[in-house]
Chain A
Amino acid sequence: DTGVSQNPRHKITKRGQNVTFRCDPISEHNRLYWYRQTLGQGPEFLTYFQNEAQLEKSRLLSDRFSAERPKGSFSTLEIQRTEQGDSAMYLCASSLQGGNTEAFFGQGTRLTVV
């Protein structure tokens, strides 16, 4: 399978715990994006990387969220001290660098904070 892969698919955690999600992009894609989606809404931008450099972060992204992309390959998104409001689908997408190229999404990680 050469698509974007996300793990785990589902995560249930208790409030206050830390969680980490992983994204493996399409191998030749050097751009990687993280989005969050709640029920009935479109995906909301969180952050994006070009190779290993994190180039943009949403103003909505609290300090409890951190993302890394070591070596410009896979990426991780960590949420510290989870809150019930963090419950959402976390989507990863990748694309080629350059002007007008589409992004391809993974199947997402569904986070439930109880």
Chain B
Amino acid sequence: EDQVTQSPEALRLQEGESSSLNCSYTVSGLRGLFWYRQDPGKGPEFLFTLYSAGEEKEKERLKATLTKKESFLHITAPKPEDSATYLCAVHDYGQNFVFGPGTRLSVLP
């Protein structure tokens, strides 16, 4: 059965303090790994798709990387507006998206 775990569960950073979030996955056949951002009371907002090991994607202060077993979301010099829950999901040959529990990020000014 496909599984996605994320760590840490919660992370508090000072503004400007860079860090990384981890997503580990077990899937029978990976068709894509996705990162989403979710603000309280709202639906997840799409950030990145990664398809194969070694691939990297960047958007503003965020950079996502992928290996055969895990993905990292690197946050460089975060700002308070980056505070949110970051969700990782995998898309397998079963056609649906399996989500991890998320990492709650708080960036303090």
Q: Which residues of A contact B51 (CB under 8 A)?
A: 100
Interface magnitude class on chain B: 20 to 34
Most chain B CB neighbours (cut-off 10 Å) among A40, A44, A48, A55: A40
- Give Cα A33–Cα B6 distance, bound, in whole angstroms: 22
Interface residue ranges of B1-18 to A (CB < 8 Å): 4, 6
Q: A41-B101, A91-B43 are in contact. Are A102 and B95 (CB under 8 A)?
A: no
Interface size class of A (residues with CB under 8 A): 20 to 34
Q: Is the CB of B95 within 8 A of A56?
A: yes
Distance (Å) between the CB of B42 and the closest chain A CB? 6
Q: Does A65 interact with chain B (Cβ within 8 Å)?
A: no
Instruction: Contact check, A100 vs B41: say whether CB atoms are below 8 A apart.
Output: no
Contacts of B36 on A, CB cut-off 8 Å? 105
- Any B CB within 8 A of the CB of A99: yes
Pick the contact of A43: B31, B87, B94 (CB < 8 A): B87
Our pick among A40, A56, A101, A107 for the contact of B43 (Cβ within 8 Å) is: A107
A93 to B6, CA, bound (A): 22
**B49 lies within 8 A of chain A by Cβ:** yes
A107–B44 contact, CB under 8 A? no
B45: Cβ under 8 A from any A Cβ: yes
The answer to whether B43 and A108 have CB atoms under 8 Å apart is yes
Complex alpha-carbon distance, A33 and B43, angstroms: 13
